[in-house]
Amino acid sequence: MKKTDLEKAAGNGLINRRHLLQLGLAGLGSGVASSVLAAENNLKIEIPGWSKQPGPGASAYGVRSGHTEFMQRSAGAPNPLYPGGGASRSPLQHLQGTITPNSLHFERHHAGIPDIDPAGHQLVINGLVKQPLVFSYEDLLKYPMVSRIYFLECSGNSRALLGPNPPDGTAQSIHGLVSCAEWTGIPLSTLLEEAGVEDEARWLAAVGADAASMGRSIPLNKAHDDVLIALFQNGEPVRPEQGHPMRLFVPGWEGNVSVKWLTQLKLTREPVQFRDETSKYTDTLPDRSSEQFTFPMGCKSLITSPSGQMSLNRQGVYQINGMAWSGGGSISRVEVSADGGRSWADAAIESNQSEKALARFSIPWQWSGGDAILQSRATDSLGNVQPTREAILADRGRLSFYHNHCIQSWAVNGNGEVRNTYA
């Protein structure tokens, strides 16, 4: 098939996605080894060493292939003034699908990871309730549980894009504070019902058992809606990094409210005004007033391939691939541009479009060696459309840095090098 036969979907090389199926690997461009080419050229097929003798047998606990160890979370250097504080980021550019492996789920700790023995841990529900309750881990395991796939995103994710100069980063370094898992646990509404919430209660204060005593206030209507006491993550007990033995999971909302190592839930009339909802996690406006309690994470998407610091080593057809999510619902549409936002084409959504979970999208793109600016723009089931960086800055000014969900622009130059840029 000749280049000219490809049906255009938008400017600068975006093509109709049915071509990806028609072309197959052999049609994608030069230098691609495939079984088809090997057969045509009558090449001799060598039997590799690993096919000639049995390998090791079954094991009690699995580890990943040694050939995939380059996929790592990136943890910053430890800060002696902030023991255990900091974050590690998921290697988004290496992952596919919508579930983040537990070992690569991003982390954000304010005082490190406590080593909690579940046998000595308690969850207390008190405050404005008819009957204060104390649960052990064993008690909670006896309750009926539900399983839901939800993303988790730190509200500080992507903040580097609000600085004056575009950082020369990767999908991981700029956007790696988002991950997605199947969370299994007890609907909080079940436990609240058992405790009996007093009529005047409006808020719920959640506190963690780590040395940071992380506390956050959550409006009671959300607590009754879809909040979980999560005990399992992708089928295994919640990892220590993610809050073992239990965490609050608040779907679609800024990661900070999903309090890890959860030990207390107190029903109150007013928000408690914890440190992390006053001096932190508020958005400072141009007049220096601060917006408090910006809970749902915005409608957002990101191209993960090609992405920052990758390079295209041949001209031809590429599959643009990425992820999209929204705290407001499910992803209903993802558009992609190869000309910096002048023209757009609809990408295919490859995954289930479930509420507050990651979606995976793709679209084929013909790169003919010229400059390009690749962007993606998500729309969610409430009709929210991902904004440009300019729109975010115009709306919020330059003092605010949480909750950035602007469109990411990756510039491709004539050498095929991909860099973060401001379009």
With CB under 5 to 8 Å by kind, the binding choice for 175 among ligand MTE, Mo ion, none is none
What is the number of the residue whose Cβ is closest to Mo ion?
154
Binding-site member from 14, 152, 246, 312 for ligand MTE (CB under 6 A): 152
Contact partner, 261, from ligand MTE, Mo ion, none, Cβ < 5-8 Å per class: ligand MTE
Name which of 175 and 333 has its Cβ closer to ligand MTE. Answer: 175
Contacting residues toward Mo ion, per CB under 5 A: 108, 154, 255-256
Whose Cβ is closer to ligand MTE: residue 180's or residue 334's?
180
Q: Alpha carbon of 72 to those of 63, 88, 93, 353: distances in Å? A: 14, 9, 11, 27
259 binds ligand MTE (CB under 6 A): yes
State both tokens at 337: 């541009």
Binding of ligand MTE by 404 (CB under 6 A) = no
Which residues, including other chains, have CB under 8 Å from residue 63's CB and lie 6 or more apart?
none
User: Is position 106 an interface residue for ligand MTE (rule: CB under 6 A)?
Assistant: yes
Under rule CB under 6 A, residue 109 binds ligand MTE? yes
Residue 258 binds ligand MTE (CB under 6 A): yes
Task: List Cβ neighbours of 87 (8 Å cut-off, separation of 6 or more).
Answer: 75, 76, 106, 107, 108, 109, 154, 156, 177
Q: How far is the CB of 40 from ligand MTE (least distance, A)?
A: 49
Please enumerate, as own/partner, the contacts of 293-296 that have beta carbons within 8 Å and a separation of 24 or more. Answer: 294/155, 294/254, 294/402, 294/403, 295/222, 295/250, 295/253, 295/254, 295/257, 295/327, 296/252, 296/253, 296/254, 296/327, 296/328
At residue 17, what is the residue type? R
User: Shortest Cβ distance from residue 337 to Mo ion (Å)?
Assistant: 30
CB of 420 to Mo ion, least distance (A): 22
Specify whether the backbone of 325 is left (phi greater than 0), alpha (psi in -120 to 50) or beta. Answer: beta
Tell the smallest beta-carbon distance from residue 82 to Mo ion (Å).
Answer: 14
- The answer to whether 283 contacts ligand MTE (rule: CB under 6 A) is no
Instruction: Give residues 297-356 in contact with ligand MTE (rule: CB under 6 A).
Output: none
Nearest residue (CB) to ligand MTE, 242 versus 307: 242
Q: State which residue, 224 or 239, has the beta carbon closest to Mo ion.
A: 239
Q: Which DSSP state fits 101?
A: P
Q: What is the DSSP string of 345-382?
A: EEPEE-S---TTS-EEEEEEEEE-SS-EEEEEEEEETT
* Type of residue numbered 111: A
Q: What's at 398, amino acid-wise?
A: R
If one asks whether residue 261 binds ligand MTE (CB under 6 A), the answer comes out as: yes
Q: Smallest gap, in angstroms, from Cβ of residue 280 to Mo ion? A: 9
Residues 6+ apart with CB under 8 A from 200: 128, 269
Using the minimum distance from each CB to ligand MTE, give the nearer residue, 211 or 393: 211
Residues contributing to the site for ligand MTE (CB under 6 A): 105-110, 152, 154, 208, 210, 212, 214, 241-242, 255-256, 258-261
